Amino acid sequence: MQRVRQRKPQEFDRVLSSMCTEPHPRAHEAAVEFLATNPGDPATYQTVADLETEAVDQLGEIAGLDDAYGYIASGGTEANIQAVHAARNLADGADTAGGDAASDPNIVAPTSVHFSVTKAAEMLGVELRTVPVDDDYRADLDAVAAAVDDDTLLVIGVAGSTEYGRVDPIPAMADIAHDADARMHVDASWGGFILPFTDYEWSFADAPIDSMAIDPHKFGQAPVPAGGLLARERETVDALAVDTPYLETTSQATLTGTRSGAGVAGAVAAMDELWPAGYRQQYREQQANADFLADEFAARGIKVVEPTLPLVTASLSPATFEALRDEEWRIARTADGDLRIVCMPHVTRAALEAFLTDLDRVRS
Ligand code: 0PR
């Protein structure tokens, strides 16, 4: 205990690079209360299992799905892995039933897809075909169409990409997927709690998508670990289930076994508090912050990528970047070396102004 007592966790006031945020106080309380429960054993921990059903219903409402299937996962990584897993198992099932499952299956996604999909492809023995993005960092539809073939299990579109906050053309990608008898997954891990307040077409209501990752522990303001896997059909979750002989419940569809009830309870509490008005306000404030920051960069002659969601990327010299890190700003870079600032709920206008003051001082 001594060793923990001597330390304090990271303060959020200089964190400009994270896709997680300070949990809402009600979500924090609920998470602590349910810390010792395990939704992985619903016959023993009935209350938290019921809460998980409510969490999935609520996530469904946010993502435009009336009868939602799915579960609260450990994060977007698990949700993405399980989407690929379900697609592979469903194709294998089609094979056993006399269909023609691919002998050399592949999945197709833009280069902007999160690296969790690389993990999924590796573990599940499927080929990941990444296709280029267009000038605005969105999946190039011609490239998607060219990459898809008879062996494609799944097409993945990103709704709120990790590096540039872009939304892929989801309805058109779903059409391409379904024309090839493949499934369509949307990774809205980061974007899912802000996109309902935009005009983007990203949800189950906007396109015939099959599954989605949508994480309460990012913009949903729930404590970690709370990811979300959603599916339109029950068969998607059934395709993930294995028998659980010694549990009272007979099957389990999650990747992890024992799970923290904190994630489930925190997610429900956050959504109760914030959906929809709180999330809408959060989106508006953070989009305004991102627009402010982008304008300030542009005014200083710094090349900036338009923040179409609350995420700003801009060109900074490596020396300036390092100098800002030395000032203890927690900032990150894209693969191309651009500064990347994620305007999460804990990022205040005052923090951005202080950041700009430091930038002006250290810039080289
Ligand atoms: N999908 C997208 C679009 C993501 O951006 C991320 C995470 C994931 C899936 C995976 O989600 P989990 O990390 O919940 O499994 N993107 C950030 C990243 O990996 C996550 C992150 C979070 C980074 C907090 C930094 C940080 O402080 O870069």
Judge whether residue 203 has pLDDT over 90: yes
Task: Name the token pair of 163.
Answer: 């590096």
CB-based contacts of 239-244 (< 8 A; 24+ apart in sequence): 239/85, 239/86, 239/89, 239/90, 239/93, 240/82, 240/85, 240/86, 240/89
At 200, is the pLDDT very low, low, confident or very high (cuts 50, 70, 90)?
very high
At 94, is the pLDDT very low, low, confident or very high (cuts 50, 70, 90)?
confident
Given a contact cutoff of 8 angstroms between Cβ atoms, the answer to whether 183 and 153 are in contact is yes
Given a contact cutoff of 8 angstroms between Cβ atoms, the answer to whether 62 and 304 are in contact is no
Q: Of all helices (H) and strands (E), which one includes residue 343?
A: none
Judge whether residue 261 has pLDDT over 90: yes
Q: What are phi and psi of 166, to 5 degrees?
A: -95, 155
162 Cβ below 6 A of ligand 1: yes
pLDDT value at position 253?
A: 96
Tell me, which fold does domain 25-274 have in CATH? Answer: Aspartate Aminotransferase; domain 2 (3.40.640)
At 15, is the pLDDT very low, low, confident or very high (cuts 50, 70, 90)?
very high
In sequence order, what are the beta bridge partners of 341?
A: 312
pLDDT value at position 96?
A: 59
Q: What are phi and psi of 98, to 5 degrees?
A: 100, 5
At 95, is the pLDDT very low, low, confident or very high (cuts 50, 70, 90)?
low
pLDDT tens-digit map of 19-44: 999 999 999 999 999 999 999 999 99
At 129, is the pLDDT very low, low, confident or very high (cuts 50, 70, 90)?
very high
Residue where the block lists tokens 């810390």: 35
Which of 74, 166, 168, 189 has most ligand 1 atoms within 8 Å of its beta carbon, as the pocket-test mutant?
A: 189
Write out the E strands in the chain: 69-73, 106-110, 127-131, 152-158, 183-187, 211-213, 227-231, 242-243, 251-252, 304-305, 311-314, 332-333, 339-342
Given a contact cutoff of 8 angstroms between Cβ atoms, the answer to whether 39 and 52 are in contact is yes
Helix, strand and coil percent figures for the chain, each rounded to 5: 40, 15, 45
Q: What is the mean pLDDT of residues 291-296?
A: 98
Torsion of CA 42, 61, 225, 307, to 10 degrees: 170
190 Cβ below 6 A of ligand 1: yes
346 Cβ below 6 A of ligand 1: no
Of residues 93 and 353, more confidently modeled: 353
**Whole-angstrom distance, CA of residue 87 vs CA of residue 105:** 10
Judge whether residue 236 has pLDDT over 80: yes
Which of 116, 170, 211, 255 has most ligand 1 atoms within 8 Å of its beta carbon, as the pocket-test mutant?
A: 116
Q: What is the mean pLDDT of residues 152-177?
A: 98
At 93, is the pLDDT very low, low, confident or very high (cuts 50, 70, 90)?
confident
**Whole-angstrom distance, CA of residue 114 vs CA of residue 201:** 20
Judge whether residue 98 has pLDDT over 60: no
At 101, is the pLDDT very low, low, confident or very high (cuts 50, 70, 90)?
low
Q: Which of 240, 249, 311 is nearest to 79 (CA)?
A: 240
Class of the CATH domain delimited by 2-16+279-363: alpha beta
Judge whether residue 155 has pLDDT over 60: yes
341: region left, alpha or beta (phi > 0 left; psi from -120 to 50 alpha): beta
pLDDT tens-digit map of 265-274: 999 999 999 9
77 Cβ below 6 A of ligand 1: yes
For the chain, give the mean pLDDT. 96
Q: Where are the domains of the chain?
A: 2-16+279-363, 25-274
pLDDT value at position 99?
A: 55
Q: What is the mean pLDDT of residues 87-114?
A: 84
pLDDT value at position 307?
A: 98
pLDDT value at position 244?
A: 87
**Whole-angstrom distance, CA of residue 71 vs CA of residue 52:** 7
